[in-house]
Every structure is written in structure tokens, then in C-alpha cells.
Structure 1
Amino acid sequence: MSEIERESMEYDVVIVGAGPAGLSAAIRLKQIDPDLNVVVLEKGSEVGAHILSGAVLDPVGLDRLIPDWKAKGAPVTVPVREDRFYMLGEGGAARIPNWVMPGLMNNHGNYIVSMANVCRWMAEQAEALGVEIFPGMSCSELVYGEDGAVRGVVAGEFGKNPDGTPGDAYEPGMELLGKYVFLSEGVRGSLTKEVLAKYDLQKGHCPQKFGLGMKEIWEIDPAKHREGSVTHTMGWPLGSNAGGGSFIYHLDKNQVYVGFVVHLNYANPYLSPYQEFQRFKHHPMVAELLKGGKRIAYGARAISEGGWQSMPKAVAPGVAILGCGVGLVNVPRIKGNHNAMLSGIEAAEAAAAAIAAGRQGDELADYDAMLRDGPIAKDLKPVRNVKPLWSKYGLLGGLALGGFDMWTNSLVGASVFGTLRHGKSDAQATGKAKDHKPIDYPKPDGVLSFDRLTNVSFSMTNHEESQPAHLTLKDASVPIRVNLPEYAEPAQRYCPAGVYEVVEEAGKDPRFVINFQNCVHCKTCDIKDPSQNIHWTVPQGGDGPNYPNM
């Protein structure tokens, strides 16, 4: 238990994070047993404020959770009407015929959505069932029982001074205790990271792999708008520098989601994922679409990309990890929300059965088994080799071999490659500066492309400046002593929000500056720092981005 004296509240299940996984779990628990006491704690200022996703939604999870979601007014109203795939060169584009793509890439029956708005609607459904939802409540600590099991979390701690000591208006927060705790923090959650390490849950599994997804919402010329159109591209501007690609989704109201994903296993420390995204919008095909339009929102988020091989054990005494904390994204489909929902449902059913049997604080083995034997496994296993093939053979070789592997799986239910393993972590994949050349990126024009700080203002990010920085260094000397000479300090470039700077002034030693106020909570720094010296944890509740329709 924590050394600070705190009041406590008891629940049956405590859920950290009001994303699709956490809310699905909450709803399913109350569907099974309306008398269960369930609480959801969300660090964003409101439900949806920290939700960023593509997103084309496969409704399989929603169908299982709330079969009459259409009648209940779910904001899932724009069906996909066409799929387009392109390979880009600097000045042109070659369309890949749809018949070449494996059937799982077909988006027929899926919907273009704002997952932020879907989560807001799901929260309404949960509250109607009696779930308690508290936004603006960061969960800063885990509470352990004497037996070592997770018993709950500390939430709602406010008023610390910058040095971490209690300020005049300090509020210690509360301990919310449960028979089981569900962590649905999304990618690289701080409590999830602690649980993975404490119980060694990644043992025997490949390291998790990640991408950085960046997204802008644009209002475009109505004459160019094609509601329900889905476009994916590969190739330029990344080339051989990194894996990744783009998405362009036409939703309603003449709005378009323009997004760009960069796999974080790139080697060149001079690469800037954000600058690659801005450069992408100057491709003739994209520039023509956006001409005359305006960007109205921006955000960024890490994506779990390791897939089947990288899924850790998802349970430990008293705790279960849900959704992207486990890494349930189907990389070639660029979809994970459906699996996040399914994971929440499976965890809820396992916990409800355990509580009904009089158990608490043990491992929900049935949940972990369902992840590996149920519908999520059927979605992830057939595509398990796409990411490692891409990493090993590059864009063209990986595309050809990955496509062959997916076709083979769809036809005979097996892979000729078996199960390929991932190699280094994304941090370890970072190369030395001496082995790479700096990249000269064009300056943003303020029309199609924008500087980072201007774009961050469109994420409506805000942090109370008097609190301790939620981005901490294990060793304050490492950025200048190690990362700068060896890697040209890549934090200056991999962060999509301009949080990190190396300030060099005449007659003074370089210094590393952390502008934590800019942070959009993408977690890239925690993942990509080659020295693994940066630790991301939660700021006080309600701080961070305030995404409207991401």
C-alpha cells in the first residue's frame, strides 16, 4: 500500500482508461450482472479527449457487445464504399488493383468513424447501465496487496510542486480498490509497463514493435469529397528510410482524415516522422485533394504493431491488460479497435465468472486463453508474418512476400514461413549518427504543411505548468553525454509535438530541454529513445490533448 494516507473506495472491478477496450469491459460486466460495482477512470478531460485512431471500424466487436447499436444511435454512420491502394513515387502514383489484395484487406461492411465520438457514445451506454465513469482522473500508482497481487490504483492526485513535493493545494487522491483491475491505457501505458516488468509478462514473447501514427482532419472542397472512400498508400516519401504508409478516409460533412504511419524500427536517427508526414501532403495526388481546404485538427499516437508474436501474457494476480496494452492491432488491415472491444468483452466475462464463483485477486487465466484461442487469434495469426517480412526485406520484398503469405493463409489456413520472430526492439534498431546522413526537409508552407508547434495548437493540448513534468529522465546526463554524440539526439526529431530540444548557446555547453506542456501523449519517446532513458508517466488528470473528433 502507498505510504501516503488516502481514503479508499471498494469496487468489484476497477477499469483504467475509457477507450474501446475499457468501455466494452464495463458494459459487458453490467450486462452479465447489473449488481456488479464497476468504475472507469479516464485521464482525459472528458471521455474521448485522448482517443486518436484512423479509423475504419470493423463492427464485429460492437455487434457482439450491443447488437442493436444502430437503433441506439451509435455514431457509426459512414459505410466504406470504395477501397483504393496506391504505390507512390515522388511525382506519380500507381494504383494497385483490388483483386491483388488478400480478401482480409477488403473494407466492405466496415465504417469510417471518429473513435473519440464512438467512445463518448459507449460511455453513455455504460452509464445507463450503472457504470461510474470519472474523467479527469489520472491513475498515478498501482496498489498492491500483501500477497503481491494488484489490489487497485491511486487516482486523482493533484497539486504537487514541480519538484514532486506536495503544494499548498495538494490533494492526495484516493485508492480505488477492486476484486480485479483492468488496465486499458492504450499503447505503452505507464501502469501497464509496470505490470509487464513486475510479473515478467513479456518473457517468451517477441519484443513489442510500434509505429507512430499522425493524423489531421481536413475540410475540403465539396466537389472533391467522396463520402465513404478509403485510400491507403505506400512508398514515397519514406522509400528505404523507414516502413510505413498513409491513409485518407472521406467521412461525412466534407471532412477527410489524412494520416501517416511510420514504423519506429527505422535506423536513421536523422529521420523525422512528422516531417515525412508533412512532406507526404505535397505529393501531387494528395495536394490536389487538399487544395482549397483547411486543416482543423491534429494529433499523434503510437501504435502497437508486433502482433501475434509480441502479445505478452495478459494477466497477473488481480490484474488484466486489455486492448492495445496487449498489442492487438492487425497491421496490414490497420485495425485494432474491434479487437480492443473483443478483449474487453472477454476480460469482463472471465472476471464476472470468477466473482460469481467467489474468487478475487487471482489470475484470470480464461481471459488470456481466449486471447490466444478465440476470435482475436483468428484475426491476428494469419497476418503474423507481414510485419517481420517487411522489416527484413523492405517495402517491395516485404509487400510481395507478405501478400503471398496472407493469400496462402486464406487458402490453406497455414503459413509457409511458420511464425517469424521480430528482432531488436525499436529503440535498439536506432543507428549511430556517424553511419547516416542528415535529411534536409523542406520548410512548411503554412498551406499544406505546418510546423510542429502550430499543429500542436490544433490538438488543443494543455498542461498545468506548475506540476512536475510527466516526462522524466532516468539519468539527466544521458541526452547530452550519450545520445547527442552517438545518435545526434533523435528526440529532437522523433517527437511529433516538439517536446524535446537541444539548446546550444555560444560559450555554453549544450543542454537538453523538455517542453512537457506540448506533449500529446503519443508515447513515442518512451519507445524510441535509443538509451531507454525517458520514462512517460501520467500528468495530473484532465491535462493533455483535447481531441474533438479524432
Structure 2
Amino acid sequence: MDTSLDRESMEFDVVIVGGGPAGLSAAIRLKQVNPDLSIVVLEKGAEVGAHILSGAVVDPVGIDHLLPGWRDDPAHPFKTEVTDDQFLLLGPAGSVRLPNFAMPPLMNNHGNFIVSLGNVCRWLAAKAEELGVEIYPGFAAVEVLYNEDGAVVGVATGDMGIEKNGEPGQNFARGMELLGKYTLIGEGVRGSIAKQLIAKYDLSKGREPQKFGIGIKELWQVKPENHKQGLVQHSFGWPLGMSTGGGSFLYHLEDNMVAVGFVVHLNYKNPYLYPFEEFQRFKTHPAIRGTFEGGKRVSYGARAITEGGYQSVPRLSFPGGALIGCSAGLVNVPRIKGSHNAVLSGILAADRIAAAIVGGRANDEVVEIENDWRASDIGRDLKRVRNVKPLWSRFGTAVGVALGGLDMWTNQLFGFSFFGTLKHGKTDAQSLEPASKHKPIAYPKPDGVLTFDRLSSVFLSNTNHEENQPVHLKVKDMDLQKRSEHDIYAGPSNRYCPAGVYEWVEKDGRDVFVINAQNCVHCKTCDIKDPNGNITWVPPQGGEGPVYPNM
């Protein structure tokens, strides 16, 4: 069958890529403002929420703006309000609790909720559909469509039924074009469509490089005596060294469930560092392991996190649309929160686009989105924490965290920073150093009770990919991968990937790069951390990947 066959097309007022908090909030807001607008949301997961992973402690400020009466809805997912907030500095054998009064007020989680962000998105999707929004789960946007003036006019979904050799199979079906007056991109961190648009329109010009972390999470059912509903506990320090940024979270939800996660900043230098194993080590700390004694791990997942903040946010508007949510990098790093800004960005974009459509505009640049976000609640939220990440990166954990705390206090009390606005400098890929500068790290073997291996973990993520399809992890230059990633950097892809996708295997006397694409949990770390930018993540067939329950 000829893949050049014309695709069918559908026309809408607004096309939204991504069924996360940003995309769904934009869809709801557009319908609130103008019920006559036709809105479609494309979601690459098999269902809304299937690919959503976050801590998550949610600041409800965004939901309060979007759905003011949400607390009266018995179906809402915000069941556990934060009752206790703890901050720990971990050493190899002990811990010190930091006093809450010393923490900047913005770090206080009073009034926030511990939730499954996937379940929040499922709830928002139901709200959107009640308003008449069309939601298409299982359809991945793979191509941006442009008009003759170079403006975005929509997206195309991927062809289905392409076999491993790149040829159409027996069940081949052409993708579909979804055309709109405007297109909003809310596909999450390091999305493939956002990458294309940022490059085409040079949206990062004049901005600092985007920075990232890798967040790895498990969901546990613990014994009732080890559970304290509403407890939020964050830590930093061990097992990471003082020169490597990162930290942990323990969130006690309802029904004896505890979400535990570990974030490693991806600007680490040592190619032998193994974020997954650092997470497993973290759980063995005397201040942590007691929570999980007698408990059962029920789910696992991983996801990249944007950490560049205020100075790394690209230009949001482009001809024909805008970036929203984590596609725009709106995470508040010290708070480990981004969903509130994702919702607010969806609202802001929806308001400006609805006004443009009423004014008879289409496929032009709604510059009001770019012009207005820094003066909004989003801009104010990000500006006051803009130096926390670069201070941590520059001075290490001990000094950098202290300086970051001081900077947040001065921003809180006086509205300015002694540091101005610091730069990030290198990308995370450029931060990696050759293996010759470092020594391998010996990690303990998993015990299968508290600590685990990657493959048994991926099993809990319900990840599935049809094997007879083209690999969705594209290596541009395999020779470069061997002579640089392997020979100079000692194959860090085998360690930074939290799903065991990449291996270097000896075959016929030479080392061969093996890609186990079926394991991929779509975290995008390889797209970020490969030292040569030689690996590109693109969506597999729609609906494939992890299926996260309650994550």
C-alpha cells in the first residue's frame, strides 16, 4: 500500500496536542469562554492519564481558577490534603530535619493536595467532554502541518501498521490531518512536536539552555502503622554526592498508599552515575526504609522534568499556535511543582486564542500569550525561584542549597535578588565528562524486597510496544555512538535510561549498540543526556508505551 496516499482531514477551531493538565485546561477554558468553538485534544496514550507521571503534590491555584466549584464535586480526585511538611538532609547513616520556620514561605505545602496527576487528568477529561470537547486517545501527533506562509495549521497523526522494515503491513492505516485556526502544544517534557517548532521558529533565541532532571517513582502499599495520610517529606544529600544535584520525595496518600520518588539533575558529570540505582540505594537509608517494611510495591515509572525555569522558557507563541505546560518548561524547581502552572498556562492561552478567533483571526501569531505570561501568576511564580537551580549547579548541594534558600527569602521579602538572573551555561548533554575523569561506581545487588532491578520495575509500568514496527528511538550516526558514547563516555545510555532500553553487547568480537525499544517508558532522558545529541525520541504507534494506574 502506498503511504503517499492522501490523509483524511478534520477541521476544528483549535487543535490541542497532549491530554495533560495544560491541554485539558485549555480545552475546558475555550469551551467556557465560547461554547460554540470546536476543540479536539490528541492524546498519545491509550487513555487519558496513561502516560502521566508526577509526584504529585498539587497547588490548587490553577484548578481554583479553572473550576471554582470543584470542591463540591464528589468525583474530584483531591482526597488527601497535606497535613505535615518535612525537609530532611540525609547523610550516609543519619539525617537532620530542617526546621520549617527556616524554609521560605513558598515552600510551605499548606493547602496543597497529594494526588495522582494521572487521575486528575482523567477527571479533567470528563469535564472537557461534558462541555463538548472531542478527545482522541491513542493518537500520537507526529508531523506539524504548515500553510504556504509557514504558519502552523494543524498536525498529522502517525500512520498505523508500519512494519519493522518501514513498509506498510497488512493492517496499515494512514494517519489523519487535524486542522485548526490555532494549535496548542501541551505534550509534556521534551515533546517531539515542541522540539520541531522550537527549532523551526528559533523560539529559544535569547534564552538560557533548558535544563532537566530524571524523576523515578514507585507507588507502594504500606502497613497501616507505617502510614501517615497527608505527610509530605522531601530530602536531599545522600546517596548523591555534594556535587550532584537531586533529591527525593515521600508522599502519603489515602488507603495506605505512599508515593516515593527520586530526582537526579541531568547536568551530572560522572558517566558512571546510575540514577535508577541511586534511587534504590536511597530507599535503604535508616530514615527511609522503615516506611516500606512489610509493604508491597505496586507501580513504577519514570519521566524527565524541566528544570531551567524562568530564564529558559522559550518564546511561547509562534505563527498559528503556542506552547503550554511542560512543553514550555514551566516547572517551579524548588517546589517540585509544575501542574499548577500547566493549568494556568492553558487558561492564559485559551483566553487569548478565544479572543483572537472572535476577532476573526486565524493561523497568525497570538503574541499576547508571549507578552502576558511573565506578568501573570506563572511569571511571578517562576521569577522568584529563578536562581535556585543555577546556584545549586554552580556551588554544589551544601552551599548551593543554602544560597538558593537565601535568594528565595530575599525575593519573598524584598522582591529582588542579589544575584540578578543567573545563567545556566551548558546543556545537560554538554555537562557529561569523559569516563577517564571518573571511576566506576559499585552498586549493591537488589534484594527483591526493598530494592529491585529495572526489568521487574518496567513490568509494573505496564509498558507495551508492538515489536514489529520501526524503532522509535532514532540514532543519527551509529559510528559516532561507538567511537564517542561508548569509547569516550563508557556507554552512559546503559545507566541513565531507567528502563533498560540501551545495551552495549559484544557480537563477533565487536561492541554493538542494542536498543530494546519495547521497554521504553517515554521518559525522554536519552533525547536529553546523550553527549552528542545523537539519539532522538519520536512517538511510537499511538496508544503504546506505559499505562500508569494512579501515578
Q: TM-score category by the smaller chain?
A: over 0.9
Contact 2:233–2:249 under 8 Å retained in 1? yes
Contact 1:452–1:497 under 8 Å retained in 2? yes
Task: State the alpha-carbon separation in 1 of the partners of residues 52 and 372 from structure 2.
Answer: 26
Q: Give the counterpart letter for 1:330 in structure 2.
A: N
Deviations 1:366-412 (A, max 9, x none): 11122211110110000000000000000011011111100111110
- Within 5 A, what are the aligned runs for 1:223-238? 223-238=225-240
Q: State percent identity of aligned pairs.
A: 62
Q: Give the counterpart letter for 1:414 in structure 2.
A: F
Q: Give the counterpart letter for 1:51 in structure 2.
A: I
Deviations 1:249-284 (A, max 9, x none): 000000000000000000000001001001101111
Q: Which residue number corresponds to residue 334 of structure 2? A: 332
- Within 5 A, what are the aligned runs for 1:149-548? 149-505=151-507, 507-548=508-549
Q: Which residue number corresponds to residue 55 of structure 1? A: 56
1:147 to 132, 146, 149: 149
Q: CA deviation at 1:131?
A: 0.1
Q: Give the counterpart letter for 2:39 in structure 1.
A: V
| 3-state SS of paired residue (2:379) | helix
Task: State the alpha-carbon separation in 2 of the partners of residues 224 and 453 from structure 1.
Answer: 27
Contact 1:247–1:258 under 8 Å retained in 2? yes
Q: Which residue number corresponds to residue 41 of structure 1? A: 42
Q: CA deviation at 1:168?
A: 2.3
Q: CA deviation at 1:323?
A: 0.4
Task: State the alpha-carbon separation in 1 of the partners of residues 189 and 117 from structure 2.
Answer: 15
| 3-state SS of paired residue (1:10) | strand
Task: State the alpha-carbon separation in 2 of the partners of residues 3 and 390 from structure 1.
Answer: 51
Task: State the alpha-carbon separation in 1 of the partners of residues 384 and 518 from structure 2.
Answer: 41
Q: Which residue number corresponds to residue 95 of structure 1? A: 97
Select between 60-69 and 72-81 the one with higher mean Cα deviation: 72-81
Deviations 1:448-487 (A, max 9, x none): 1100000000000000111111101111222212211110
Select between 405-414 and 3-12 the one with higher mean Cα deviation: 3-12
Give the TM-score normalised by the residue count of structure 2.
0.98
Q: CA deviation at 1:164?
A: 2.0
Task: State the alpha-carbon separation in 2 of the partners of residues 438 and 348 from structure 1.
Answer: 50
Contact 1:428–1:530 under 8 Å retained in 2? yes
Q: Give the counterpart letter for 1:236 in structure 2.
A: W
Contact 1:49–1:116 under 8 Å retained in 2? yes
Task: State the alpha-carbon separation in 2 of the partners of residues 3 and 196 from structure 1.
Answer: 27
Q: CA deviation at 1:326?
A: 0.8
Q: Give the counterpart letter for 1:438 in structure 2.
A: P
Task: State the alpha-carbon separation in 1 of the partners of residues 454 and 63 from structure 2.
Answer: 35
Q: CA deviation at 1:288?
A: 1.0
| 3-state SS of paired residue (1:360) | coil
Q: Give the counterpart letter for 2:154 in structure 1.
A: G
Task: State the alpha-carbon separation in 1 of the partners of residues 514 and 316 from structure 2.
Answer: 36
Select between 330-339 and 149-158 the one with higher mean Cα deviation: 149-158
Q: Give the counterpart letter for 2:516 in structure 1.
A: N
Q: Give the counterpart letter for 2:48 in structure 1.
A: V
The answer to whether 1:6 aligns with 2:7 is yes
Q: Give the counterpart letter for 2:542 in structure 1.
A: G
| 3-state SS of paired residue (1:487) | coil
Q: CA deviation at 1:42?
A: 0.3
Task: State the alpha-carbon separation in 1 of the partners of residues 167 and 186 from structure 2.
Answer: 29
| 3-state SS of paired residue (2:42) | strand
Task: State the alpha-carbon separation in 2 of the partners of residues 163 and 344 from structure 1.
Answer: 39
| 3-state SS of paired residue (1:486) | coil
Contact 1:323–1:339 under 8 Å retained in 2? yes
Contact 1:162–1:468 under 8 Å retained in 2? yes
Task: State the alpha-carbon separation in 2 of the partners of residues 241 and 391 from structure 1.
Answer: 8
Task: State the alpha-carbon separation in 2 of the partners of residues 104 and 526 from structure 1.
Answer: 32
Contact 2:243–2:396 under 8 Å retained in 1? no
Q: Which residue number corresponds to residue 114 of structure 1? A: 116
Task: State the alpha-carbon separation in 2 of the partners of residues 87 and 482 from structure 1.
Answer: 37
Select between 94-103 and 2-11 the one with higher mean Cα deviation: 2-11
Contact 2:182–2:363 under 8 Å retained in 1? yes
| 3-state SS of paired residue (1:246) | strand
Which of structure 1's runs of 4+ aligned residues deviate more than 4 A?
none
Task: State the alpha-carbon separation in 2 of the partners of residues 503 and 211 from structure 1.
Answer: 27
Contact 1:212–1:303 under 8 Å retained in 2? yes
Contact 2:243–2:397 under 8 Å retained in 1? no
Q: CA deviation at 1:4?
A: 4.3
Q: Which runs of 5+ in 1 are unaligned?
A: none
